[in-house]
Structure 1
Amino acid sequence: MAMQSSPYISFPGNASEAFPYYRDLFGGRLDLMTYDQMPPMEGIPFTPPSGSVAHATLEAPGITLTGGDAMGEDLPRLASDVYSFLLAFDTTDEARTFIATVADDGGELAMPFEVAPWGDHYGQVRDRFGIRWDVVVDGSAG
Structure 2
Amino acid sequence: MNGVTPYLTIGGGRANEAVDFYKRAFDAEELGRHPADDGKRLMHAHLSVNGADLMLSDDFPEFHGGGAAPAPAGVKIHLAVEDADQAWSRAVGAGAEVTMPLADQFWGDRYGQLKDPFGHRWSIGAPSREPDQG
- Structure number with greater Rg is 1
Query: Which residue of structure 2 aligns with residue 104 of structure 1?
Result: 93
1:46-86 CA-partner distances (Å, limit 9, x unpaired): xxx532111110124422111111211333334x3x11111
Tell me, in whole angstroms, the C-alpha distance in 2 between the residues paired with 1:34 and 1:76.
Answer: 22
| Residues 126 and 116 of structure 1: CA distance in aligned 2, closer, same or farther (over 3 Å) | same
Q: CA RMSD in A?
A: 2.2
**5+ residue gaps in structure 2?**
62-66
Query: Which residue of structure 2 aligns with residue 31 of structure 1?
Result: 32
**5+ residue gaps in structure 1?**
37-48
Tell me, in whole angstroms, the C-alpha distance in 2 between the residues paired with 1:3 and 1:76.
Answer: 26
TM-score normalised according to structure 1 size: 0.73
- The match for 1:53 among 42, 50, 69 is 42
- Give the fraction of aligned pairs with identical amino acids, expressed as a percent: 28
Query: Which residue of structure 1 aligns with residue 120 of structure 2?
Result: 131
Secondary structure at 2:114 match in 1 = strand
Tell me, in whole angstroms, the C-alpha distance in 2 between the residues paired with 1:60 and 1:86.
Answer: 11
Is the CA contact 1:20–1:30 (under 8 Å) kept in the aligned structure 2?
A: no
TM-score normalised according to structure 2 size: 0.77
